[in-house]
Amino acid sequence: MIENLALGAMFFGTLQDDRRSFELLDRFVDAGGVWIDTANCYAFWADPSGFGGQGEALLGRWLAARPGVRDRVRISTKVGCEPTVAGGFPDQVEGLSAGAIKNGIEGSLRRLGTDHVELYWAHKPDPHTPLAETVAAFDELVSAGTVGRLGCSNYPTWQLERARQLAAASGGTGFTAVQQHHTYLQPRPGTQPTVVHRFGVITDEVLHYAQHHPDLALWAYTPLLSGGYTRTDKPLAPEYDHPGTVRRLAALDEVASETGTNRNRVVLAWLVGGNPTVTPIVGVSSAEQLAEAIAGVSLELTAEQRARLDSAG
């Protein structure tokens, strides 16, 4: 199931240097991995300049140093969140006007050293640009062959549906992928994970929508809660401090014991084996973490184990 795993390249080129990043990319591809996820704004908060582009630039150097590997991988990148001034996020960002999208893809392709990307995302809604303008600008990229598919990240469900309606009405290409935060644990009602955009969580409504639209792919960022499931130095955020978490962690531990694995692997197996299937995006900093992610998406849960996980909490 490694085709259902995306390697997150958020910190490649900033917190991860070329040597380590190249090693992880090589190992991922050698293991059969295909999808690499980045964004034009990665990682502005980790770079002294206050601007992004380092992740795409590193991928461009890696692709240039590995002749032929471009045909083996699919690149997923995003536009909309790059700051226009250092320190300006989240209010002073490029947005999703037609001009911003055109400039965004041109910059991404230049840094990546390629003439196309397989999946291009609207990184977050732009309240200052008419949705019809954004939809039309994305469609032009598909028509030009620059982009294969379109996705939106951190969008409310109503806006996703409206965007798809606008594209269909004009005979254009609409969003066929959604990228939100999703994991096994659920935050306390009335709260949301602190690092997530306002509409950035895959809710039951999003899952229901995807189940009734088979053309829509779901991608999940931060599926392992940045180490919160297994690392004592990475405690769970306060919004997970409730009785439901205790019960769901107990169910995770039961299944992990039965499968001879650990919580991380069970969470990934739960994501990729569900209905709808979810593609987890994993950000790794070591070969061991990458191997664990690959083992997780390769793990098959029984129907009884899945039912027990679903019903816990």
Question: pLDDT tens digits, the chain, 313 residues: what are they?
Answer: 799 999 999 999 999 999 999 999 999 999 999 999 999 999 999 999 999 999 999 999 999 999 999 999 999 999 999 999 999 999 999 999 999 999 999 999 999 999 999 999 999 999 999 999 999 999 999 999 999 999 999 999 999 999 999 999 999 999 999 999 999 999 998 888 876 789 999 999 999 999 999 999 999 999 999 999 999 999 999 999 999 999 999 999 999 999 999 999 999 999 999 999 999 999 999 999 999 999 999 999 999 999 999 999 8
pLDDT of residue 279: 98
pLDDT at 313: 83
CATH number of the domain located at residue range(s) 2-311 in this protein = 3.20.20.100
**Residue in 266, 239, 271 with CA at minimum distance from that of residue 254:** 266
Q: Quick one: pLDDT at residue 195?
A: 65
Distance CA 214, CA 15 (A): 37
| CA dihedral (278, 279, 281, 287) positive or negative | positive
C-beta separation of 31 from 292 below 8 A: no
Domain ranges of the chain: 2-311
- Residue 72 identity: R
pLDDT for the residue 1: 72
Which token pair is 227? 């180490």
